[in-house]
Amino acid sequence: MTSPRLALRVLCDTDVERVHAAALSMLGEHAAAAERAATAAPETVLLAGREASRDVVLGGDSVWLAAGGPSPLARPVEGGAARRGTAADLVSALRLAEVLPEVGVVTCPPVLVDDSSLLDDLRLCLETTTKHILAATLQVGADAEVAVRMGAAVAGGVAALRRRPLLSLIGGPDSAEAALVFARAGLPVGFYAHLAPQAPETVADLARALACHHAGVLSACRQIQAAAPGAPFIYTVPPAEVLAGDVEEPALFALAALQMASHVGLPACCASLATRAVEAGWRACTDNALVLLSASAAGGPLLVGAGTLAAGAVFSPQALVLDAELFSWNARIADGITIDAERLAVAEIEQVGIGGNYLGRRHTRTHARGVWRPRILDRSPWDAWEASGRAGALEKADAVSRDYLNSFTPTPLGRAEQENLSRIVAESGL
């Protein structure tokens, strides 16, 4: 989690108003109801963890990271090429997401497994992680009904689940049916309606895509509030290319969309960690570093997609560790610089004087603890780096993910909850 003190705006107030007005004009007779719905939806949304210490609150100043896609392919923890996702890959992804402190929310499932049902995946998620679970594959109402029952089984009942929603749903236009089920159960949802052609191959203007998407979100919010007044609704920002084709700079779209979310007072979820790079290297890093920095600076969203490559097609434990490092890096940047008399340190500067050294000073000992420290970044001297076999960030990330998984100790679900989950899945016949 990071609480940004910095602010970056890509649209001026007038531009925001123009985009909003354009969206309302697309909504036609539903415009007023859509605006009312956005006002009626809560400004903050609790995404509860199985343990309260894992709770995430969207809509404040904090930025949160969500791990996973879902991805049909997975890069094995032990390395090598991406393959069809296996049960082992799914478990590794869930465990790594559970143990990395930068990850606030887990996407369900981070890895799609052949011959595994969505509800089996959800059961595994509920059993493995104590963090909030973001259902990203649910579309059918019947599946969503079972998912709600499963969530209630872990939360301690339907009312408890409503109070502390362990599950939420984020999706595109195909998720509307499942979203309505979740919303009626008091679970946070976010999706957008199709008001414009979905043409990923189409190059489109960013302003046009932004207005179309904003209208789609407002339309979805109207549907949810009509079905479940006051239901928590999340302004969902998909990867820019989903809406606008092969767009110029995805970070720019994400920034602008987050401003639109803020304009209508809705908490936001941004699936912008969606690099098209197929390896966790230079390009993936450039993509994600800029997206994370700009989104963090814009303030407040849940950033989805950590650990994914190839536009979400591949989940990579290595990439998740690297994205977590990027998030940590950006968290420090977003925290800004505190200016007060103690930190300006004029007296300290005078005492150390010209040509002096601050290393052994009490002021330094007090404040050096706050200096950011890397998990992956290499700061060794050249000779030491060569002696280590020129280990790069990718090798380190592999080692970190293996270490974390080896030392992982799960916080198990109670036996009764586990049995309930199994029974619900079996009874569903889905």
Partner 1 sequence: MSTIDSIAPRLQWHILAPEEIERIHEASLTVLERTGVRFPAPRALAVLEAGGCRVDWASGVVRFPRAAVLAALAWAPRHYVLAARDPEQDVLLDGRHGYLSNDASGVFIVDHHTGEIRSSTKADVAASACFVDALPELAFCWGPAVTSRDAPAATRALHDAEAVFVNTSKHFQTVTTVGETAARSVAEMAVLVAGGREELRRRPILSFMQCAVDPLGHDALNLEASLVAAEYGLPCGFMPMPLAAGTGPATLAGTLVVQNAGTLSGLVLLQLAFPGTPVFLSGAPSVIDVRTGAYTGGSPEDYLLAGAATQLARRYEIPMAMGTMATGAKEPGWQAAVDDSLSTFTSVMSGADMMNGAGLLNGSKMLSYPHLLMETEIYRIVKRMAAGIDVSDDSLALDVIDRVGCAGTYLAESHTRRHARDLWRPSFWDRSPHELWLRAGRPGALEKATEAADEILATHEPRALPEDVRRAIRALVAAADASSTEMPR
Residue numbers 99-138 binding partner 1 by CB under 8 A? none
Q: At what angle do helices 13-27 and 250-263 cross, to 10 degrees?
A: 80
Separation CA 15–CA 256 (nearest Å): 10
Q: Does 356 bind partner 1 (CB under 8 A)?
A: yes
Q: Does 208 bind partner 1 (CB under 8 A)?
A: yes
Separation CA 68–CA 309 (nearest Å): 10
Among 84, 163, 390, 423, binds partner 1 (CB under 8 A): 390
Among 60, 358, 375, 408, binds partner 1 (CB under 8 A): 358
Separation CA 319–CA 331 (nearest Å): 18
In the region spanning residues 212 to 251, those forming contacts with partner 1, defined by CB under 8 A, are 212, 246-249, 251
Separation CA 169–CA 292 (nearest Å): 22
Among 304, 326, 413, 424, binds partner 1 (CB under 8 A): 326
Separation CA 399–CA 360 (nearest Å): 34
In the region spanning residues 33 to 72, those forming contacts with partner 1, defined by CB under 8 A, are none
Question: Of 147-155, 223-231, 365-373, 401-409, which segment contacts partner 1 by CB under 8 A?
Answer: 365-373
Question: Of 109-117, 148-156, 190-198, 401-409, which segment contacts partner 1 by CB under 8 A?
Answer: 190-198
Q: Does 19 bind partner 1 (CB under 8 A)?
A: yes
Question: Of 33-41, 97-105, 178-186, 337-345, which segment contacts partner 1 by CB under 8 A?
Answer: 337-345
Separation CA 387–CA 391 (nearest Å): 9
Separation CA 125–CA 95 (nearest Å): 9
Closest separation between CB of residue 256 and partner 1, Å? 5
Q: Does 293 bind partner 1 (CB under 8 A)?
A: yes
Closest separation between CB of residue 320 and partner 1, Å? 13
Closer CB to partner 1, 25 or 44, in the complex? 25
Separation CA 136–CA 34 (nearest Å): 24
Separation CA 334–CA 338 (nearest Å): 12
Closest separation between CB of residue 173 and partner 1, Å? 11
Answer for the pair 81, 313: CB distance below 8 angstroms, yes or no. no
Separation CA 336–CA 224 (nearest Å): 37
Q: Does 13 bind partner 1 (CB under 8 A)?
A: no
